[in-house]
Amino acid sequence: MNGINQLSLIQQETRRSFLGKGSTGIGLAALAGLLNQDRALGTTIGDYSFPNFTPKAKRVVVLWQGGGPSHIDLFDPKPKLKEMAGKDIPASVRGDTRLSTMSSNYKAWPCVPEIKPYQKYGQCGTEMSTMLPHIGSLADDLCIVRSLNTEAVNHAPGVTFFMTGSQIPGRPSMGSWLTYGLGSESEDLPAFVVMTSTDKGKTCGQLFYDYYWGSGFLPSKHQGVKFSSTGAPVPYLNNPAGVSRAGRRSLLDKLAKLNHAHHVEYGDPEIQTRISQYEMAFRMQASVPELLDFKKEPEHVIKRYGPDVEVRGTFANNCLTARRLLERGTRFVQLMHSGWDQHSNLFTQLEKQCFDTDAPSAALIQDLKDRDMLKDTLVIWGGEFGRTPFGQYNSGDSKKPNGRDHFGRAFSWVMAGGGIKPGSIYGETDEFGWNITQGRIHVHDMQATILHLCGIDHEKLTFRYQGRQFRLSDVHGHVVKGLLV
């Protein structure tokens, strides 16, 4: 080896040793906690302790309806669209709204009213579609948000924006931020779990990318653990043939000693992740089979979720699994269900999609309420945007619209529990459902509000990366006080 290469190697080793050993004192303290108990009631990051104040929500479940549920057809009734059916939405209303390339060059903008009637639900009298009777029956527990806004006009950027605070992949997801700030409440299950499903007809071609639940530049222990819908729920969780549980325990103990020595030398936080994940996997060998066994669930609860509840990989099955995760201490559960992208099949597919998701969504909320958990569990039901008030049409025939395009200028979500004002409606749109006229909530405002409900000041939960402090809400966002109890 020549002198230059020897010098380079010495410099690299010196730098590595300096950085690693310089953090050993802190690293060993964290490592000891991981080896003894992978549980936290909160954390201290920089100058702040989390939670910053008493949280209203101890846990969060996101029922993500991928593709963009139509606010016009489900949550925001507009008699004007019925009055003007087939006629163009005025240019004065449309303005310079950004639309997808599928409809941005249209010459006609035919009004399409809701495809099924609305009715009033609950003592609060909230109007919702008759296609969602089970969710509607819980109207007195819900807040219908009618004034969400996003700049995204396509699926992946839209989902990424809500989940990570940026339309560009690479930043930590919401569940990762929460577990980074608040730690875990469960010794035997992950703090952040993800499950995916799709409509029965598989009409929606949208994919769910791993970065929707990734940890970005946060330590990888904070990324979501995805439960598979087929085969083993978690890959590589089971012992190989011929390896006993006692044998696995002995192997992990020896690995922990090796990793401990490695951490003393280099101080790499990913070594801590490796140890904690090995230990979590060992505990999950016992906890996951019990979690997914519904035999002890009362018959009336099983029926409440609908006929698909015992079919793995369905939205109904995932909803019941979510409730069982939440009551066992999982902090953030993210269910992602596709099938709401009705460009050309609105009049047939929307009702089917509602039928498949309505009962399970309501059952989860009712289950949480029955267990006195809804009051401190934040439930979110919604997608990346809504659908256009005008009809989407093919072959240039505007007289025969058969769907709705993406629409982010104004759309709706459903929220419940965890400090959200029950039996309420927040925000308003104009008579076409096009422009927000009151209570506009931007993506970053919603992120700030969700963190606030979990006891976190969104401006304080940060992570330094590439020379700047990052946070979920980027450099924007205000807590929407009108949503809160």
Contacts of 319 (CB under 8 A, 6+ apart): 63, 305, 309, 335, 360, 361, 363, 364
Separation of alpha carbons 128 and 137, rounded Å:
10
- Helices then strands (H, E): number in the chain? 14, 19
Q: Can you read off the two tokens belonging to residue 429?
A: 């749109």
Half-sphere exposure of 277 (CA within 13 A, CB side): 19
H-helix or E-strand containing 255? helix 245-266
For residue 307, is the peptide bond before it cis, meaning its omega torsion is within 30 degrees of 0?
A: no
Separation of alpha carbons 373 and 255, rounded Å:
39
DSSP bridge partners of 406: 387
Backbone angles phi, psi at 72, to 5 degrees: -65, -40
- Give me the pLDDT at residue 248, please: 66
Output the CATH code of domain 42-233+300-483.
Answer: 3.40.720
Contacts of 4 (CB under 8 A, 6+ apart): none
Pairing state of beta strands 463-465 and 441-442? Answer: unpaired
What's the predicted TM-score (pTM) here? 0.87
- Give me the pLDDT at residue 260, please: 74
Q: What is the DSSP string of 326-380?
A: HHTT-SEEEEEEE----SS-HHHHHHHHHHHHHHHHHHHHHHHHHTT-GGGEEEE
What percentage of the chain's residues is helix, strand, coil (to nearest 5)?
40, 20, 45
Tens of each residue's pLDDT in the chain, 485 residues: 444 444 443 343 444 444 444 433 333 344 444 444 444 457 889 899 999 999 999 999 999 999 999 999 999 999 999 999 999 999 999 999 999 999 999 999 999 999 999 999 999 999 999 999 999 999 999 999 999 999 999 999 999 999 999 999 999 999 999 999 999 998 899 999 999 999 988 887 778 999 999 999 999 999 999 999 888 887 767 777 777 777 767 666 777 777 777 777 777 777 776 667 666 666 777 788 899 999 999 999 999 999 999 999 999 999 999 999 999 999 999 999 999 999 999 999 999 999 999 999 999 999 999 999 999 999 999 999 999 999 999 877 899 999 999 999 999 999 999 999 999 999 999 999 999 999 999 999 999 999 999 999 999 999 999 999 999 999 999 999 999 99
